[in-house]
Amino acid sequence: MIVALGIVVLQGAGGQVVDVPAAKDDVRRAIGPDQEAIRLTLSSVTETGPLQVVTPRGTGLTEPQRRFVQKFSYEEMAPGGVSLHDIHADFLATGAASLDQQFISIKLEGRRNQKIFIDNIRPVDVLRTAPWAGTLVNVRDQSGGETKQMVIDFDDVDPITRMPGADDLEDDAPPGGPYFQHKTLTLTDGTEDTVIIKAITAQWGVTFRIRIDYRVGGKAEHRIVDNNGRPFALTAMNCTKPSIAKQWVLGRISYEAVWEHQGSMIRSPHPNRHPVNYPECGQD
């Protein structure tokens, strides 16, 4: 293969202009034909809080999930030796959805000598339903989060990737303009960028995958990212009555079961009409 590359370059020296990075990539593909131009790694799928998930209707907690939720506290975030990270992954693996918003972190590593131009990152296979209403496990965070890069609002008729509306996307600022209207991400060989996408909804239960459109050597290609074989899942809170801030009126949500952190984990005695304060289900 090294000899073949030498012939290409020498022929170029004889009068033709040779695209050396492209020639190197030809050899690279011949050596490893299964090597993709971009190495994708799904780094994390999280919510604002430590654990804010909803199971589909008719799907309760597994026994390990139940034991963890019953014993969880901020002082002991790994009851029984089970970490919060592991139990969160277990919830998502058994089909649970993130509540209200989801942060998807994807690492992109260039694996070509030529530059790779990422023209779009967008949701595909989008399926909207009524908000999920199985078991709600709602442990809110006690602190702020990190800066994010992109936003997808699934309440839009045609959801696209948008610019952040604030420096910290855990703020409630509305999303900005289309991200890729004036931007193109560029990857070079061996470099790694991390894209963090905030997906939000206040109306729906949503499942989706992420499509990454890119060009290398003038050829358009794409990759699909999902949550380890499952679509990403996100749901709005299942509200049945609005909370009204100016009138100090509590709202109501409806689930088959509700677990919330109120100093300790409490299971609601009336999950089908559980009270919530503003801004949950809120009106100004």
- The C-alpha atoms of residue 105 and residue 87 are separated, in whole angstroms, by 18
- The C-alpha atoms of residue 58 and residue 60 are separated, in whole angstroms, by 6
For position 32, what pLDDT does the model report? Answer: 57
Per run of 10 residues, the mean pLDDT along the chain (length 284 residues) is 35 50 55 74 90 94 92 77 88 94 93 91 97 94 56 94 72 80 85 91 96 93 94 96 87 96 89 91 75
Q: What angle do CA 207, 63, 93 make, to 5 degrees?
A: 25
Q: How far is CA 144 from the centre of its chain?
A: 18
- The C-alpha atoms of residue 131 and residue 221 are separated, in whole angstroms, by 34
For position 103, what pLDDT does the model report? Answer: 94
Long-range residue pairs from 81-87, CB within 8 A, at least 24 positions apart, any chain: 84/50, 84/51, 87/51
Phi, psi (deg, nearest 5) at residue 259: -115, 125
Long-range residue pairs from 2-7, CB within 8 A, at least 24 positions apart, any chain: 2/27
For position 23, what pLDDT does the model report? Answer: 52
For position 53, what pLDDT does the model report? Answer: 97
274-276 and 251-253: which strand pairing? antiparallel
